Amino acid sequence: MKKLYGFLLLFVLALVLAACSSDSSGDGGDSDSGDGESADKKVEIFSWWTGAGEEDGLLALIDLFEKKHPDIKIENAAVAGGAGTNAKAVLATRMQGDDPPSTFQVHGGDELNEGWVAAGKMEPLNDFYEENGWMDKFPEELIDLVSKDGEIYSVPVDIHRGNVMFYNMKVFEENGIEVPKTFDEFFTAADKLQAAGIKPLALGDKEAWTATQIFENVLLGVLGPDDYKKLFEGEIGFDDARVKEAAEKFSKMLDYINDDHASRNWQDSAQLVADGEAAMINMGDWAKGYFSNDLNLETNKDFGYFEFPSTDGEFVVITDTFGLPKGIENPDDVKEFLKVLGSVEGQDAFNPLKGSIPARVDADKSKYDKYGQETMEDFKGARLVPSLAHGSAASEGFLTKVNQAVNIFVTQRDIDNFIKALQNAAPEM
Amino acid sequence: MAENTQTKRKKRFTKDQWTAIAFLIPSIILILVFVYGFIGWTGYVSLSNWNTLVPDFSFAGLKNYIYLFNDFRFQADLRNTLFFTILFIGFVIILGMGLAILIDQKLKGESIFRNIFLFPMALSFIVTGVVWQWLLNPSTGFNQFLSMFGIEPKWYTDTNILAGFEWGSIEFGLPVAIIAVVIAAVWQMTGFSLAMYLAGLRGIPDELREAARMDGASEFQVYRKVVLPMLLPITMSVIIIMAHISLKIFDLIYAMTGSGANFVTDVPGVYMFETTFRGNYYANGAAIAIIMLLLVAVFIVPYLWNSRKGDN
The whole domain housing B156 covers: 63-311
Tell me if B16 is assigned to some domain.
Answer: no
% chain B with pLDDT above 70: 95
Cβ contacts (< 8 Å) between A207 and chain B: which residues? 258
- Across the range B34-57, mean pLDDT stands at 94
Q: What is the pLDDT of residues A123-140, one digit of tens each?
A: 999 999 999 999 999 999
Interface test with B, best of A23, A79, A114, A263 (most B CBs within 10 A): A263
Task: State the sign of the Cα–Cα–Cα–Cα dihedral B64, B66, B69, B73.
Answer: negative
One-letter amino acid of A309: P
As a whole number of angstroms, the distance between CA B169 and CA A291 comes to 41
As a whole number of angstroms, the distance between CA A11 and CA B25 comes to 12
Question: Do the bridges between strand A154-161 and strand A357-358 make them parallel or antiparallel, or are there none, so unpaired?
Answer: antiparallel
A215: closest CA of chain B, how far (Å) = 16
CA atoms in the 13 A half-sphere facing the CB of B274: 25
% chain A with pLDDT above 90: 77
Quick check: B8 and A1 CB within 8 A?
yes
Q: What is the pLDDT of residues A144-190, one digit of tens each?
A: 999 999 999 999 999 999 999 999 999 999 999 999 999 999 999 99
Question: Do the bridges between strand A72-78 and strand A41-47 make them parallel or antiparallel, or are there none, so unpaired?
Answer: parallel
Average pLDDT, chain B: 90
Contact A308, A161 (CB under 8 A): no
As a whole number of angstroms, the distance between CA A219 and CA A160 comes to 19
Contact A49, A57 (CB under 8 A): yes
Of A206, A260, A408, the CB nearest to B263: A408
Q: At what angle do helices A415-425 and A396-412 cross, to 10 degrees?
A: 170
| Closest-approach residue (CA) in chain B for A120 | B54
Q: What is the pLDDT of residues B251-307, one digit of tens each?
A: 999 999 989 999 999 999 999 999 998 888 999 999 999 999 999 998 888 888 887
| Closest-approach residue (CA) in chain A for B130 | A263
Quick check: B278 and A412 CB within 8 A?
no
Tell me if B54 is assigned to some domain.
Answer: no
Tell me if B23 is assigned to some domain.
Answer: no
As a whole number of angstroms, the distance between CA A100 and CA A122 comes to 10
A417: closest CA of chain B, how far (Å) = 11
One-letter amino acid of A240: D
3-class DSSP state for residue A166? Answer: strand
Least confident of A77-86, A250-259, A261-270, B186-195: A77-86
pLDDT at A35 (0 to 100): 42
As a whole number of angstroms, the distance between CA A69 and CA A75 comes to 14
pLDDT at A31 (0 to 100): 39
Of B7, B257, B278, the CB nearest to A396: B278
Tell me if B43 is assigned to some domain.
Answer: no
- Across the range A253-262, mean pLDDT stands at 94
Quick check: A208 and B259 CB within 8 A?
yes
Least confident of A119-123, B51-55, B308-312: B308-312
Contact A258, A210 (CB under 8 A): no
CA atoms in the 13 A half-sphere facing the CB of B194: 26
Tell me if B128 is assigned to some domain.
Answer: yes
Quick check: B278 and A85 CB within 8 A?
yes
Tell me if B42 is assigned to some domain.
Answer: no
Least confident of A33-37, A261-265, B120-124: A33-37
CB-based burial of residue A332 (10 Å sphere; 0-12 exposed, 13-18 middle, 19+ buried)?
exposed
Contact A287, A166 (CB under 8 A): yes
- Across the range B130-139, mean pLDDT stands at 92
For residue B278, give the H/E element and its range. Answer: none
What band does A33 get if pLDDT is binned at 50, 70 and 90? very low
Higher pLDDT, A288 or A82: A288
Q: Is the pLDDT of residue B4 over 90?
A: no
A409: closest CA of chain B, how far (Å) = 7
B142: closest CA of chain A, how far (Å) = 14
In terms of Cα–Cα distance, which of B34, B63, B33 is closest to B286?
A: B63
Contact A392, A108 (CB under 8 A): yes
- In this structure, what are the phi and psi dihedrals at residue A326, rounded to the nearest 5 degrees? -75, 150
pLDDT at A113 (0 to 100): 92
Quick check: B159 and A85 CB within 8 A?
no
Contact B91, B182 (CB under 8 A): yes
What band does A9 get if pLDDT is binned at 50, 70 and 90? low
The DSSP letter of residue B202 is H
Contact A182, A166 (CB under 8 A): no
Q: What is the pLDDT of residues A401-426, one digit of tens each?
A: 999 999 999 999 999 999 999 999 99
Q: Is the pLDDT of residue B247 over 60?
A: yes
Quick check: A263 and B139 CB within 8 A?
yes
In angstroms, the first-to-last Cα distance of chain A is 68
3-class DSSP state for residue A107? Answer: strand
Cβ contacts (< 8 Å) between B257 and chain A: which residues? 206, 262-263
Assigned CATH for A164-316+387-428 = 3.40.190.10
Q: What is the pLDDT of residues B149-164, one digit of tens each?
A: 988 898 999 999 998 8
- Across the range B115-129, mean pLDDT stands at 92
Torsion of CA A259, A262, A264, A269, to 10 degrees: 50
Quick check: B139 and A411 CB within 8 A?
no
As a whole number of angstroms, the distance between CA A375 and CA B98 comes to 64
Average pLDDT, chain A: 89
What is the number of structural domains in chain B? 1
Contact A305, A227 (CB under 8 A): no
Tell me if B268 is assigned to some domain.
Answer: yes
For residue A2, give the H/E element and its range. Answer: helix A2-33
Q: What is the pLDDT of residues B170-194, one digit of tens each?
A: 999 999 999 999 999 999 999 999 9
pLDDT at A5 (0 to 100): 58
| Closest-approach residue (CA) in chain A for B51 | A397
Contact B280, B52 (CB under 8 A): yes
Domain covering A40-159+318-381: architecture: 3-Layer(aba) Sandwich (3.40)
Of B154, B155, B259, the CB nearest to A407: B259
As a whole number of angstroms, the distance between CA A215 and CA A204 comes to 14
As a whole number of angstroms, the distance between CA A192 and CA A173 comes to 12
pLDDT at A89 (0 to 100): 84
Task: State the sign of the Cα–Cα–Cα–Cα dihedral B13, B15, B18, B19.
Answer: negative
Q: Is the pLDDT of residue A384 over 50?
A: yes
pLDDT at B301 (0 to 100): 87
Q: Is the pLDDT of residue B109 over 60?
A: yes
- Across the range B126-147, mean pLDDT stands at 91
pLDDT at B10 (0 to 100): 53
The residues on B that touch A, with CB distances below 8 Å, are: 4, 7-8, 15, 19, 22, 26, 51-55, 72-73, 133, 137-139, 154-157, 159, 257-263, 274-275, 277-281
Contact A103, A324 (CB under 8 A): yes
Q: Any idea what the Cα angle at residue A16 is, between residues A12 and A21, rounded to 5°?
A: 145
Q: Dump the DSSP string for A96-118.
A: HTT---SEEEEETTHIIIIIIIT
B73: closest CA of chain A, how far (Å) = 8
B209: closest CA of chain A, how far (Å) = 51
As a whole number of angstroms, the distance between CA A163 and CA B165 comes to 39
- Across the range B68-87, mean pLDDT stands at 96
Cβ contacts (< 8 Å) between A95 and chain B: which residues? 53
A4: closest CA of chain B, how far (Å) = 9
One-letter amino acid of B169: S
CA distance to A300, B237, B302, per residue, from B312 (Å)? 79, 19, 15
Tell me if B94 is assigned to some domain.
Answer: yes
pLDDT at B23 (0 to 100): 92
Interface test with A, best of B4, B41, B52, B53 (most A CBs within 10 A): B53
Quick check: A8 and B22 CB within 8 A?
yes
pLDDT at A12 (0 to 100): 54
Max Cα separation, chain B?
86
Quick check: B139 and A262 CB within 8 A?
no
Q: What is the pLDDT of residues A304-326, one digit of tens each?
A: 999 999 999 999 999 999 999 99
Question: Do the bridges between strand B161-167 and strand B170-175 make them parallel or antiparallel, or are there none, so unpaired?
Answer: antiparallel
Cβ contacts (< 8 Å) between A8 and chain B: which residues? 19, 22
As a whole number of angstroms, the distance between CA A392 and CA A160 comes to 12
The residues on A that touch B, with CB distances below 8 Å, are: 1, 4, 8, 12, 15, 85, 88-89, 92, 95-96, 115-116, 118-119, 205-208, 259-263, 395-397, 399-401, 404, 407-408, 410-412
Q: What is the pLDDT of residues B218-229, one digit of tens each?
A: 888 998 989 999
The Cβ of residue B289 has, within 10 Å, a number of other Cβ atoms equal to: 20
A396: closest CA of chain B, how far (Å) = 5
| Chain centroid to CA A2 | 64
Helix extents (H) in chain B: 2-31, 38-46, 63-70, 72-103, 110-118, 125-135, 142-146, 176-202, 206-214, 219-221, 228-230, 232-247, 251-256, 268-277, 282-311
| Closest-approach residue (CA) in chain A for B27 | A15
Of A116, A396, A407, the CB nearest to B261: A407
In terms of Cα–Cα distance, which of B98, B144, B85 is closest to B269?
A: B85
Cβ contacts (< 8 Å) between A389 and chain B: which residues? none
As a whole number of angstroms, the distance between CA A368 and CA A366 comes to 6
Ramachandran region of residue A203, left (φ > 0), alpha (ψ -120 to 50) or beta? Answer: beta
Higher pLDDT, B303 or A83: B303
Question: Do the bridges between strand A314-323 and strand A154-161 make them parallel or antiparallel, or are there none, so unpaired?
Answer: antiparallel
Q: Is the pLDDT of residue B1 over 60?
A: no
Q: Which residues contact A49 (CB under 8 A, 6 or more apart)?
A: A55, A57, A58, A78, A105, A354
Higher pLDDT, B32 or A31: B32
CATH number at residue B155: 1.10.3720.10
pLDDT at A24 (0 to 100): 38
pLDDT at B311 (0 to 100): 63
What band does A88 get if pLDDT is binned at 50, 70 and 90? confident
The reply to whether A164-316+387-428 shares the fold of A40-159+318-381 is yes
3-class DSSP state for residue A77? Answer: strand
Domain boundaries, chain A: 40-159+318-381, 164-316+387-428
As a whole number of angstroms, the distance between CA B50 and CA B249 comes to 25
